[in-house]
Amino acid sequence: MTHLLEVRSLRKTYRLGRVDVPVLKGLDFDVREGEWVAVLGASGSGKSTLLHLCGALDRPDRDGGTVLYREQNINKWSAKAKDRYRNTAVGFVFQFYHLLPEMNVLQNTALASMVRYGHLGYLSRRSQLMRRAAQLLDAFGLSNRARHKPAELSGGERQRVAIARALMNEPALLLADEPTGNLDAVTGGQILDVIAETHRQGQTIVMVTHDRAIASRADRIVELKGGRLATS
C-alpha cells in the first residue's frame, strides 16, 4: 500500500514568554492508504499538535521537517492550496464536537461543501449535496434530527454529526482528536463503531487518544512520547 501521509523529522516548538517549549522533536510518522492508526499519548504530549500539523491547520517550526501528502510537502503550499486541502482532503473530528450553533444538523453536515463551492456552484448542486448530507446522517442514525440545532442534541449525537461533517467532501484522511474524550463509555463505544464502519468502507483514519483501550480498536497504534513516536 502506498503512503498517504509521510511525516519526516517534524518539529514544533511553542514559545511561552521567553521559554521555548518543544512539543514535537523530530517526529517521523507514516500513514498508509486505508489504514486506521491510533496515536496514543499522555495529556500534553502533543497529540493535537501533531494532528493540526497533519491537517495544515498549523505549521511546523522553521526547518522543522516535512509533512508529505501524496508525496507533496503541504507546508510549501500557498494559503489557497492549504485551504483546499483542509476542505477536500482531510476531515477533522474534535473532542468537543465544534458544531456551528446557528446552523441545524443538516447544514452543519453540509458545511464543508458550502465552503467548497461558491454561491452558484453550491446552489446548482444543492439538491445533490443535501442528498449526500442526508445520507450521511441516515447512516449515523440521525435522519430524524436533521432540522435540529446542535444545542438540542446529546453529546453522542453531536459527535456523530461532527463525523458526518468531516466526511461530507469525501476526504482521503479523517483526523479524529479524542473523538470519545467527552463521552461516557457506552456512547464512546458507539462513536468508535461509527468510525470503524467508515474504516471498513475504506476510510483512512488517524485517531488521537490517551486511552489504550480505545486505541486498540485501530489497526495500528503508535505512541507519542517525548516528542517522538514509538510503535507499541
Partner 1 sequence: MYQASLTSRYLLRKIIPLLAMLSVALCTAMVIIVFSVMNGFLDLVTQAGRKLIGDVAIDGPVTGFAWYEEVLDELRRLKTVEAASPMIETYGLLKMPYNQIAQVQVVGIDPESYDAVTGYASTLYWRPLTEAEAKRLPAGDIRREQWEPDESLLDWRRILHGSLLDPEFESLGPIGPEGLRNHTPEWQNPHGANESLLERLKVAGRTLQTPAGSPGLVPGIRVSIVNERVAGRSYDFRGTWFMPTREVTLTVLPLTDEGGIRNPESRVFPVVNEFAVERYDVDSAYVFVPVDVVQKMLGMQPVRELSTTEFDEFGDPVPTGRMTPGRVTRIVVKARAGVAPVRLREQVQEAYASVFERHVGAMPPPSQMNIRTWEEQIALYIGAVKNETALVMTLFSIISLVAVILVLSIFWTVVQQKTRDIGILRAVGASRLGITWLFLLYALILGILGAAIGCGLAVLIVHNINPIHHFLGEQFGIVIWDPKVYMFDEVPNDVNPVFATMIMAAGVLFAVLGALLPSVRAALIDPVSALRYE
Asked whether the beta carbons of 39 and 208 are under 8 A apart, the reply is: yes
Residue 49 in contact with Mg ion, rule: CB under 5 A: no
Closest residue to ligand ATP in the complex (CB): 48
Contact 167, 201 (CB under 8 A): no
Nine cell digits for residue 149: 440545532
Q: By C-beta, is 38 or 111 nearer to partner 1?
A: 111
Cβ-proximal residue to Mg ion, closest one: 48
Instruction: Write down the least CB distance from residue 89 to partner 1, Å.
Output: 9
Contacting positions for ligand ATP (CB under 6 A): 14, 16, 21, 23, 41, 43-49, 210
Q: For residue 190, state whether it binds Mg ion (rule: CB under 5 A).
A: no
Among 92, 106, 137, 206, binds partner 1 (CB under 8 A): 92
Site string for partner 1, 139-178 (x = CB under 8 A): --------------------------x-------------
Per-residue b or e along 182-206, where b marks 16 or more CB atoms closer than 10 Å to that residue's CB: bbeeebbbbbbebbeebbeeebbbb
Distance CA 209, CA 206 (A): 10
In terms of CB distance, is 58 or 61 closer to partner 1?
Answer: 58
Residue 148 cell numbers, joined: 435540529
Nearer to ligand ATP, 19 or 151 (CB): 19
Rounded least distance, CB 208 to ligand ATP, Å: 7
Q: How far apart are CA 106 and CA 113, in angstroms?
A: 12
Cα–Cα nearest to 203, from 158, 167, 161, 156: 167
CB of 58 to partner 1, least distance (A): 5
Please tell me whether residue 36 binds partner 1 under the rule CB under 8 A.
Answer: no
Residue 83 phi/psi, 5-degree rounding, is: -60, -45
DSSP class of residue 89? I
Q: Residue 140 CB, nearest distance to ligand ATP (Å)?
A: 24
Residues whose CB is less than 8 angstroms from the CB of residue 52 and which lie 6 or more positions away in sequence, other chains included: 58
Rule CB under 5 A: which residues touch Mg ion?
Answer: 48
Rule CB under 8 A: which residues touch partner 1?
Answer: 52, 55, 57-58, 79-80, 83-88, 92, 94, 96, 98-103, 107, 111-112, 114-119, 121-123, 165
